[in-house]
Chains A and B, each alone.
Chain A
Amino acid sequence: MENLNLFIRSIFVDNMIFAYFLGMCSFVAVSKNVKTALGLGVAVTFMLVITLPINYLLNTYVLQAGALSWLGPEYASVDLSFLSLILFIAVIASMTQLVEMAVEKYSPALYGSLGIFLPLIAVNCAILGGSLFMQQRGFSSIMTAVSAGAGWGIGWLLAIVAIAAIRERLATYSNIPKPLRGIGITFILTALMGIAFMSFLGIKI
């Protein structure tokens, strides 16, 4: 129940884009049409669901203060948390490589349309951000990590697909001042959607 609550909260209240602005770079760059946006969204969700539990295990059994006590009592005072950044990013980078190879093999069309954005997932702030929030908030079990990862991923997916859909229509139905076209209006749109998403604040199941 608690995990379900966290899952829902991660989608709507703690939305990666509208509440923390993580993963904005690819968000702005890839949200030109719905199809690519959907592909990237799925890839990000997938990465979050995979990397969060792995990093959770790493954090609990290797990095935290006293986490190494399973090796023997003499390791109980070891605190490796200053290494967490490097290890987290290494996990994320290698998983990205793996996903990239899988996508290339099984869905060349998607691979073609995502192009350079697949490697960029490694530097998508949303994914490292997820792991860091996990560490900061001290998640209690691996299921918590999975549900938060899924929630954040789906929240990100929702946001990017929604913006892409709006931007597709903007081109035909609106007359935006010239200097504002492109990324300018995207920012303002995201802001307006962010304000809308704030109405979910305090939601509980």
Chain B
Amino acid sequence: MAEKISNKSVLFNPFSKNNPVIVQVLGICSVLAVTVSLEPAIVMGMSVIAVLAFANVIISLIRNTIPTNIRIIVQLVVVAGLVVIVDQLLKAYTYDVSKQLSVFISLIITNCILMGRLEAFAMANKPWPSFLDGIGNGVGYALILIIVAFFRELLGSGTLLGFQVVPQWCYDHGYVNNGLMILPPMALIVVGCIIWVHRSFNKDLQDE
């Protein structure tokens, strides 16, 4: 990341070409756990965007004063502080969703996207590009989260955001919700398929 890159590509690259989840393979843990239905996925995505953008800015502001030996601890503390704020906000305003997300909001701290972006980008760049990088990667992450949640909720419970989408007459004619989609392993298969599709369009990302 040493060469000069335009702010625009910093913001938009992580959406697809350099997506944090399916290309950089960061932050998978939460993708799989919170995507049973759409609502927690959206909340989680927004939380990550907020934390990532602000953590990037803060670290980038103080990047010249952090001693390299203890930078990991400094980064963790900054991130942890932000996550605690998000966690308390969610508990105050959307208690149900925060219950559903349980420990996964707290686990944003150890979400590799954060450490990865802080290390790779914020430590070496000015605050404004770092902010854009945080937003970009956060959105890239949220995109995958929402796609996975969309398929899992639609196929698993026939609803979207809690509203019934699959009409009743389908059930009358023998359509059954795919209960397997609600189980955790299916999230992995959906992500696997997303990677498959994504890489067939981006040939330069393929292995070997």
Contacts and interface: CB of A to CB of B under 8 A. Distances in A.
Interface residues of A, number: 47
Q: Is the interface of B mostly helix, strand, loop or mixed?
A: helix
Interface string B16-33: 000000100111111011
A179 B199 contact: yes
Contacts of B187: 21, 191
A187 B206 contact: no
A129 B107 contact: yes
B207 A182 contact: yes
Contacts of A128: 106-107, 109-110
B112 A195 contact: no
Contacts of A191: 185-189, 192
A133 B102 CA distance: 9
A122 interface: yes
Interface stretch (B76-84, B128-136, B153-161): B76-84
Contacts of A178: 199, 206-208
B7 interface: no
B80 to A, nearest CB: 5
Contacts of B72: 93, 119, 122
Nearest to B80: A86
A22 interface: yes
Contacts of A94: 73
A119 B196 CA distance: 31
Nearest to B188: A191
Nearest to A22: B29
B191 interface: yes
B115 interface: yes
A188 B186 CA distance: 9
B188 A190 contact: yes
B95 to A, nearest CB: 16
Interface stretch (A23-31, A37-45, A150-158): A23-31
Given A85-B80, A124-B110, A178-B206, A28 B199 contact: no
- 3 smallest A-B Cβ distances: which pairs? A194-B185, A179-B199, A191-B188
Interface of B: 22, 25-30, 32-33, 72-73, 76-77, 80-81, 83-84, 87-88, 102-103, 106-107, 109-112, 115, 183-189, 191-192, 195-200, 206-208
